[in-house]
Amino acid sequence: MTVKSFIPPHRTLMGPGPSDVSERVLHALARPTIGHLDPAFVGMMDEMKGLLQYAFQTKNELTMPVSAPGSAGMETCFMNLLEPGDKAIVCQNGVFGGRMKENVERCGATAVMVEDEWGRVVDPNKVEAALKANPDAKLLAFVHAETSTGAQSDAKTLVELAHKHDCLTIVDAVTSLAGSPLKVDEWNIDAIYSGTQKCLSAPPGLSPVSFSERAAEVIKNRKTKVNSWFLDLNLVMGYWGGGAKRAYHHTAPVNNLYGLHESLVMLQEEGIENAWARHQKNHLALRAGLEAMGINFVVAEKDRLPQLNAVSIPEGADDATVRTRLLKDFDLEIGAGLGALAGKVWRIGLMGSSSSMKNIELCLSALDTVLTDMGAKINAGVAVDAAKAAS
């Protein structure tokens, strides 16, 4: 065995994440590693907290990045808020609601499912009925931005309903954070988790989370220990809790945190409202191009996520062949369908640094070429101009 250094190809990342990581963030990753208790590092952690509060639009004290990918952020929320015997209402309108159910059950709690068709938003009427039928439910959990379908649910309304019925809320914002409007304090969200590799355009591996005071109180007053020592916030807060005195819990992923810090500084420079507006504007340009080509969206117009565009695979096109050719000939990654939508849709991401006209033009012209070669049923040669006209 003789393995050489790994030199990855340069790709344009327009799948469901990771998104394109800027040179600025890549350079930040390569800064010298220092200790996780170094005063300089602790200063960076304090800044990180403020930057994440800005991204989440919250003043929540309990705001930090979990030292593992989004799935671990999800578990941090469920494991810390649920105890054995609790009941949670879980909305499912795609892959990630199903993962929430798994989380609830592994906490020894019961999940009451509220199901909607994949590609649709969570129906507030169904949620209200479930809340009424389950007065003993402790929390309501739903996905704000379903990465598997591209549907954006009405978080504000769902949280209001939950609170009317004295339920806490857990919100999956993995794909929405920094890509579409998300206001943790204004909407009174109790617990929220996200990922770094979507609209923040940092490398994968960290999961920003935030908890309201009310949620933090519930965690402090648990009767049983959290299932995971690693994700137990009562312990983690000894390290991330702020102040000069930080107690060792686990060794933080130092360089990955450099990358996230840099991407959050970039978000602050752009301004979060501007970032939301950019995602929306570029979505409209991509939409114009795809529709001109004759490719249709899965989600109803008013419910679409600008950063994740799920579209039906056109007649005459073979899913895997197209994606392979895009990757091989154009170094372009777009996403396959997941779960119930596998083989039926593509997921085109316009997240963070990937949300740009340059990427849109590449994607449309590459799709045009590959689909035309294949004899798929599309309107050839019109997409890029349509996108430009709409931008």
By CB under 8 A, what part of segment 142-181 binds its own copies?
none
Residues 262-281 that bind its own copies (CB under 8 A): 262, 264-265, 268
Q: How far is the CB of 300 from its own copies (least distance, A)?
A: 26
Contact pick of 124, 241, 253, 294 for its own copies (by CB under 8 A): 253
Q: Tell which phi-psi region holds residue 304, choosing left (phi > 0), alpha (psi between -120 and 50) or beta.
A: beta
Give residue 50's identity as a one-letter amino acid code.
Answer: G
Q: How far is the CB of 265 from its own copies (least distance, A)?
A: 6
Spatial CB neighbours of 187, under 8 Å, sequence gap ≥ 6:
155, 156, 159
Q: Which is nearer to its own copies, 8 or 243 (CB)?
A: 8
Q: How far is the CB of 78 from its own copies (least distance, A)?
A: 9
Q: Which is nearer to its own copies, 112 or 254 (CB)?
A: 254
Q: Which is nearer to its own copies, 131 or 345 (CB)?
A: 345
Tell me how crowded residue 90 is: count the other CB atoms within 10 A of its CB. Answer: 28
- 311 near 345, Cβ under 8 Å? yes
Tell whether residue 256 is a contact of its own copies (CB under 8 A). yes
> Which of these ranges, 114-122, 246-254, 304-312, 371-379, lies near its own copies under the rule CB under 8 A?
246-254
Q: How many CA atoms lie within 13 A of 28 on its CB side?
A: 21
Nearest CA to 122 out of 138, 103, 141 is that of 141
Q: Which is nearer to its own copies, 301 or 320 (CB)?
A: 320
Tell whether residue 44 is a contact of its own copies (CB under 8 A). yes
**DSSP secondary structure letter of residue 107:** T
Contact pick of 132, 164, 220, 225 for its own copies (by CB under 8 A): 225
Tell whether residue 259 is a contact of its own copies (CB under 8 A). yes
Residues 324-353 that bind its own copies (CB under 8 A): 327, 333, 338
Q: How far is the CB of 238 from its own copies (least distance, A)?
A: 13
Under DSSP, is residue 214 helix (H, G, I), strand (E, B) or coil? helix
Tell whether residue 36 is a contact of its own copies (CB under 8 A). yes
Q: Is the dihedral of CA 187, 193, 197, 202 positive or negative?
A: positive
List alpha helices for 65-185, DSSP H.
Answer: 70-81, 95-106, 124-133, 155-164
Give residue 98's identity as a one-letter amino acid code.
Answer: G
Contact pick of 140, 226, 360, 387 for its own copies (by CB under 8 A): 226
Describe the crossing of helices 124-133 and 155-164 by its angle, rounded to 10 degrees. Answer: 20
